[in-house]
Structures are given as C-alpha cells and as structure tokens.
Amino acid sequence: MSIKNSITGLCVGVAILLGAAGASASVTSYPGSLCVQTWKVWNTVGLYYFGPEITTITNSTVINCPISQQGHNITAAYVSGHIYGQTVTCSLLVRDKFNDSGFTSSGATNIGVPAPKYTLDLHPFAHFFSDGTKSVSCTLPASSVDFTGTVSSYTITED
Amino acid sequence: MAHMIREPAASRAWAPAALCAVILLSAFALWPRPRPVPAPSGRPSVEAASPAAAIRATVSDSNRAELELLKAQVAGLRDQLAESDRARQTAPAATEPAAAPATAPLEGPEIRVRYDRLFDDEVADQNWARAERQTLANFFDGDPSNGRVDALECKRSMCRARLAFQTRRARDQFLVKVGSPPLEKSSFWNSNPEGTNLTLFLAREGQELPDVSQE
C-alpha cells in the first residue's frame, strides 16, 4: 500500500470516528423516587416508593415521572420496576412550553410479562417540542385487592 | 459454455498493443499544431504568399472573430457572477430567515392543522370507525370531568374529538387521563390558550400517529 493510500485511509477512519462521536446519543437514567402521583385518590399508592408498600386503590391512579428537557428528540425509553398482582401501563408525554399542545406515545403494559419484575419499552415518537416538558406517565387501574409495586428507574435516550 | 468466450492467447496479447497504437495515432492527428503568428504591422507573413497560406489566414480570421465573441460572453458571465455575489453580500438577512422555517420544530397549532388535513382526507374504515367511536363516546359521556363533546369521529387510522371545558383547570384534569385506557393510544392534543377548546387525535390501536413534521 502506498503512503498516499495509507494517509487517505487514515483520514477516512478519523472522519468516521469524529462523525460517530458527533452523532452519539445522550442516555440518562432517573431514579423512580422522582415520580409523583398526579391523580389524587383517597388512598395512597406505593408504586413510586422503593420497598414494599401494600395498598388498595379505589380509582385508577396516574404516576408522573419527569424527564429533564435537553431540547432533543427521545429515541428510546424504558421503565423498570416490580409489581405484584396488578397491571401497569406507561407512556411518554411531551408538551409545548405553553402547555397548549402535547403528544402521548402509545401505552406499553406489563400484561404477559412474568411478575414481579417488569421493564417496559416505551414507544418513542418522531415529534418533540425543544422547549417544552417531557415525562413518563404510568397508570394503575382501580384494584379491589391490596398490591405492591415500584418504579425503580427509567432510562431515556435522546438524539 | 466457458469455452465459447475464450480468446486465442496470441490475439489477447496483441489487443492492448493495438489499442495503444490507435490511441497514440488519434492523439497525434488531433493534437493542435502551432500556427504562424501574423505579422504585427499587417504585413503578410512569409507563409501567406502561398494559396494554402491564404486559406489558413482566412480560417485564422474567422477563429479570431469567434474568440472575440467568446471573450465577450465570458466577460458577461463574470459580470453576472459579480452581481449575484454583491446581492448575496448586501442582503444576507433577506435570504437566511427564508431557510430557517424548514428546520424549525412546528408549533402546536400548525401540527393540529396538518392532522386536521390528514384526517379530513382519510377514507373511513366503517366497521372499525363505528366500534371505536362508540367506545370513546361511552368513555366521554361516562364522566362529566371529560368535558363536553362537540364532535367525535373516527376514520381509518385515527379518531378526532373536539372537546369543550369550562376552565383551563378542568382541561388539565382531563389531560391527566390521556395515556390511560381507553386513551392509551398514540395521541396529539392542542387547545386554545384559555384551555376551553381542545382537539384530540387518537391513533388506531397498535399504530402511531403519522409524522407530520415533513410535509
């Protein structure tokens, strides 16, 4: 191989590496303790607490887990935790800075996933607002029996 | 079948040499030869005395005319280029903002307009549309906190609901339910700043709302 070819090959390699570094995605993992209950019911629900929490809810309950706004599109999102005897449905929410518009991804559920551990692969969408709010929202249906569960963490990848 | 395309060894050896020879001969024939330079004082050159030289001088005159024409054209093109460069330098603000909106993220009202257009153009899947509309109607009618339903329609890939609320706070209480069954589908909503009117698009189960950022 000539010196010229070697230099050309080296330059191409460096360019590919630089391009890959520039296009690298940002992955952020959040603790489940950041999640808060947004839909008030007379009883508390322990989904967002670590450790066993036994509770009965008489109405469906929504848990909101905030995502720090980095001004980019979400390309992947996962929610992990454990839950006994109950289903949980989670989705991604984005809202514009005026809170006048928003997108919600289709819900991912733990139905069919062996209990108690679950990891939900949330469906990202092409849309985003660069200066609005983003969050993960999880819903628990009403339950007449006691159950326990947690969101231990959620991981967001932005482009 | 391979033997049918095999060539004799001798012809294979001569082929490149023959090709080179043809290229060299063509290049020699077409290579431009130096022309005699006309005398600066208008005095005919030595070669111009012969008939062949007279013909060559005529050709040379016509070439000169063509050259002058080409020179004029080049000068015109240079002027045009300089003019466009000057225009670009003196008015940068006029050209840059025109390119910006293509990449800027869309605002909520514009996204709603695009979904409205998509929805209006869609042909209904009657069976699915009727069943899905009924499910949603039961949900909206079942709780006063879901607002007043001004319009509710399903087509093929999505449903559209136009809802009215007394206050923005009432709208916010309803929005908590978006993402929960039966509103757990991929969705987009947009409301007026007062929060009293809201349009909600819900994708068909198992599908995502189409990307309207590129149109």
| Whether pLDDT at B66 is above 60 | no
Mutation pick from B145, B165, B180 vs chain A, by most beta carbons of A within 10 Å, is B180
Residues A36-55 pLDDT 10s: 876 544 344 444 443 334 45
The neighbour count for residue A19, using CB atoms within 10 Å, is 10
B166: closest CA of chain A, how far (Å): 16
Tell me the C-alpha distance between B107 and B103, whole Å: 12
| Whether pLDDT at A1 is above 60 | no
Which residue in A has a C-alpha nearest to residue B191's C-alpha?
A: A100
ipTM: 0.73
Write the DSSP symbol of residue B45: P
Lowest-pLDDT range, A6-20, B107-121, B159-173, B174-188? A6-20
Q: Give the angle subtended at the CA of A97 by the CAs of A93 and A98, to the nearest 5°.
A: 105
B204 touches chain A (CB under 8 A): no
Q: Between B178, B191, B213, which is nearest A104 by CB? A: B178
Look up the pTM and report it. Answer: 0.62
Residue A81: how many CA atoms within 13 Å on its side-chain side? 31
Tell me the C-alpha distance between A36 and A90, whole Å: 14
Q: Are B155 and B125 in contact (CB under 8 A)?
A: yes
The neighbour count for residue A15, using CB atoms within 10 Å, is 10
Tell me the C-alpha distance between A133 and B92, whole Å: 34
Q: Between B111, B192, B208, which is nearest A106 by CB? A: B208
Residue type, A120: L
Q: Are A155 and A28 in contact (CB under 8 A)?
A: yes
Which residue in A has a C-alpha nearest to residue B194's C-alpha?
A: A100
Residues B147-185 pLDDT 10s: 999 999 999 999 999 999 999 999 998 998 888 888 989
Please give, one letter per residue, the 3-state secondary structure of B180-203: ECCCCCCEEEEECCCCCEEEEEEE
What does the pLDDT average to over B36-53?
38
Q: Are A83 and A149 in contact (CB under 8 A)?
A: yes
Q: Are A150 and A48 in contact (CB under 8 A)?
A: yes
When computed from its CA atoms, the radius of gyration of chain A, rounded to whole angstroms, is: 21
B187 touches chain A (CB under 8 A): yes
The neighbour count for residue A101, using CB atoms within 10 Å, is 25
B105: closest CA of chain A, how far (Å): 7
The neighbour count for residue A31, using CB atoms within 10 Å, is 13
Tell me the C-alpha distance between A82 and A49, whole Å: 11
